[in-house]
C-alpha cells in the first residue's frame, strides 16, 4: 500500500441548504479520466457534497512524467449530478440556458478565499459559467482539418503544415487561428457529457489540471499546493403567493410577518379551476427559497375593530410548486401556497 496524500478537493455549496453545503451530489470521473486515474494510482474519497482525490507519493515520478506531457497534460474531468430532481426549481435561474451546460475549469480560478478557490466568475455560479454543446462536424481535407458548427461555419482550422513535436514522440497539428480553440474544446467536452446517461439532474462538468510544479510541492509536503476547489450556487428567489380557500377566505383577512420585514399585497378574489373561490395575497418582494424556511407569517382576521390570529404560522414555500405568472403586468417566478381549513 502506497503513501497516499490528498491532491485536490472539490466541494459544492448552495444557499438553499441551512449549512451552506450542497448534499446529494455525485462527482464521477469521465471514462477517459477514470482510466488515467487507474494508470496513475489516483484514488478518490467521495463525500455527500463533493470529492477528494489522493495520489500515491511512492509513484510520484511516473505521475510527473504524465503531467509534463504538454500535448496530453494530466487533466481529470468529472461529471457532476444531483439526486435532487427539483434542483432547477430551487436554484437561481441564471444558470440554466437551452443547449448549454455548466463548465468549471481549474485554470480559470483567480485566487483563493479563506483557502478556497472558487471556479466561477462571479460570487455565485452564473450564466458566465455556461458553455454551448458542440453539435457540429469535422471535415478532413487533403491538407486541413476543419471543425464546423451546426450551421456549417468553420470554427477552427488545423493546417497539416503547422506541426509541433515533443520529447514523447508525438506530433501535434496546430490550429491556424488558436483564438477560440480553448472555448471550442470546452464545448466539445460538454457535448460528450450531454450524450451520456442523465438519470439524475445534471449539474455540469469539472475539469481539473494538475501541473508538474503542484506535484513537486505536494511531494515535498507543502500544504499550500493542495487545491481546495469550490463552486457556490445561489437559491432561487420567488414571490410567495397565498391562496386562502374554504373558511380561510375571509374578506377582512390579511397576512402579517412576525419579524415585520415582509409585506403582502391583497390581490382580491379569484375563481379557481375547481370552481371554488380564493382570496389571494402575494409578497411585495421576492424571497429566497430555503430547504427549511425561517419566515414566520401569520394569518389574521379583523372583527369588530380587533385582529384575531387565525393561523399562528402559515406554511412556507416549497421548491416543488413554482411557476411563472403575470402579476400586475410583470412576469414573476411565483411559489403557490394553498391555505384551506
pLDDT tens-digit map of 296-333: 999 999 988 899 999 999 999 999 989 999 888 999 99
Percent of the chain at pLDDT exceeding 90: 51
d(CA 274, CA 302): 28
The predicted structure's pLDDT at residue 256 = 97
Residue 145 within any structural domain of the chain: no
Q: Between 151 and 318, name the one with better pLDDT.
A: 318
CA dihedral 163, 168, 170, 174 (to 10 degrees): -30
User: What confidence tens digit (pLDDT) does each residue in 224-243 have?
Assistant: 778 999 999 999 999 999 99
Residue 320 within any structural domain of the chain: yes
Residue 168 within any structural domain of the chain: no
Residue 331 within any structural domain of the chain: yes
Q: Between 183 and 149, name the one with better pLDDT.
A: 183
Indicate the pTM of the whole model: 0.81
Contact call for residues 190 and 132 (beta carbons, < 8 A): yes
Residue 141 within any structural domain of the chain: no
Q: Within this chain, do residues 39 and 82 fall inside the same structural domain, yes or no?
A: yes
Q: Within this chain, do residues 83 and 222 fall inside the same structural domain, yes or no?
A: yes
d(CA 265, CA 281): 5
Can you say how many angstroms the Cα of residue 64 is from the centroid of all Cα atoms in its chain? 32
The predicted structure's pLDDT at residue 149 = 47
Domain end among 233, 249, 268: 233
The predicted structure's pLDDT at residue 168 = 43
Residue 164 within any structural domain of the chain: no
Return the top range by mean pLDDT from 104-108, 143-147, 253-257. 253-257
d(CA 271, CA 277): 5
Q: Which residues contact 117 (CB under 8 A, 6 or more apart)?
A: 106, 109, 111, 227, 228, 229, 230
d(CA 341, CA 339): 7
Residue 16 within any structural domain of the chain: yes
The predicted structure's pLDDT at residue 200 = 42
Average pLDDT, the chain: 83
Domain end among 233, 260, 294: 233
pLDDT band at 221 (very low <50, low <70, confident <90, very high): confident
Q: Within this chain, do residues 249 and 205 fall inside the same structural domain, yes or no?
A: no
The predicted structure's pLDDT at residue 143 = 56
Q: Within this chain, do residues 123 and 260 fall inside the same structural domain, yes or no?
A: no
Q: Within this chain, do residues 273 and 210 fall inside the same structural domain, yes or no?
A: no
The β-bridge relationship of strands 330-340 and 237-245 is: parallel
Residue 63 corresponds to which cell in the numbers above? 505521475
Residue 153 within any structural domain of the chain: no
Q: 446529494: which residue's cell?
A: 24
Q: Within this chain, do residues 225 and 283 fall inside the same structural domain, yes or no?
A: no
Domain span at residue 122? 4-132+182-233
Q: Within this chain, do residues 87 and 191 fall inside the same structural domain, yes or no?
A: yes
Domain end among 191, 208, 233: 233
Q: Within this chain, do residues 44 and 187 fall inside the same structural domain, yes or no?
A: yes
Contact call for residues 58 and 2 (beta carbons, < 8 A): yes
Q: Within this chain, do residues 192 and 288 fall inside the same structural domain, yes or no?
A: no
DSSP conformation letters of 165-223: E-TTS-EEEEESSGGGHHHHHHHHHHHHHHTS--SSEEEEEEEEE--HHHHHHHHTT-S
The predicted structure's pLDDT at residue 152 = 44
117-122 average pLDDT score: 92
d(CA 67, CA 42): 13
Q: Within this chain, do residues 226 and 336 fall inside the same structural domain, yes or no?
A: no
The predicted structure's pLDDT at residue 188 = 56
Q: Within this chain, do residues 297 and 258 fall inside the same structural domain, yes or no?
A: yes
Q: Within this chain, do residues 227 and 335 fall inside the same structural domain, yes or no?
A: no
The total domain count for the chain is: 2
pLDDT band at 169 (very low <50, low <70, confident <90, very high): very low
d(CA 153, CA 136): 9
Amino acid at each position: 500500500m502506497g503513501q497516499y496524500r490528498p491532491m485536490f478537493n472539490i466541494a459544492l455549496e448552495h444557499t438553499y441548504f441551512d449549512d451552506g453545503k450542497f448534499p446529494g451530489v455525485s462527482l464521477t470521473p469521465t471514462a477517459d479520466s477514470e482510466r488515467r486515474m487507474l494508470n496513475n494510482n489516483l484514488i478518490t474519497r467521495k463525500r455527500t457534497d463533493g470529492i477528494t482525490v489522493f495520489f500515491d507519493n511512492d509513484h510520484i515520478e511516473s505521475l510527473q512524467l504524465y503531467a509534463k506531457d504538454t500535448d496530453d497534460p494530466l487533466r481529470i474531468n468529472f461529471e457532476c449530478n444531483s439526486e435532487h430532481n427539483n434542483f432547477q426549481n430551487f436554484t437561481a435561474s441564471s444558470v440554466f440556458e437551452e443547449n448549454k451546460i455548466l463548465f468549471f475549469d481549474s485554470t480559470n480560478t483567480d485566487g483563493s478565499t479563506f483557502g478556497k478557490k472558487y471556479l466561477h466568475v462571479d460570487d455565485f455560479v452564473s450564466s458566465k459559467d455556461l458553455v454551448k454543446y458542440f453539435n457540429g462536424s469535422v471535415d478532413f481535407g487533403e491538407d486541413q482539418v476543419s471543425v464546423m458548427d451546426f450551421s456549417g461555419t468553420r470554427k477552427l482550422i488545423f493546417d497539416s503544415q503547422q506541426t509541433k513535436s515533443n520529447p514523447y514522440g508525438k506530433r501535434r497539428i496546430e490550429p491556424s487561428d488558436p483564438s477560440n480553440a480553448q472555448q471550442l474544446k470546452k464545448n466539445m467536452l460538454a457535448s460528450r457529457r450531454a450524450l451520456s446517461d442523465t438519470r439524475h439532474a445534471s449539474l455540469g462538468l469539472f475539469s481539473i489540471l494538475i501541473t508538474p510544479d503542484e506535484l513537486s510541492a505536494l511531494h515535498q509536503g507543502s500544504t499550500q499546493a493542495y487545491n481546495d476547489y469550490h463552486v457556490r450556487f445561489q437559491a432561487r428567489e420567488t414571490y410567495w403567493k397565498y391562496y386562502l380557500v374554504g373558511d380561510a377566505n375571509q374578506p377582512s383577512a390579511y397576512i402579517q410577518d412576525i419579524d415585520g420585514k415582509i409585506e403582502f399585497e391583497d390581490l382580491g378574489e379569484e375563481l379557481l379551476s375547481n370552481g371554488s373561490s380564493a382570496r389571494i395575497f402575494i409578497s411585495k418582494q421576492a424571497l429566497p427559497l430555503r430547504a427549511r424556511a425561517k419566515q414566520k407569517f401569520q394569518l389574521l382576521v379583523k372583527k369588530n375593530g380587533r385582529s384575531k390570529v387565525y393561523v399562528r404560522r402559515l406554511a412556507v414555500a416549497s421548491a416543488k410548486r413554482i411557476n411563472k405568472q403575470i402579476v400586475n403586468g410583470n412576469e414573476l417566478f411565483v411559489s403557490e401556497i394553498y391555505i384551506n381549513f
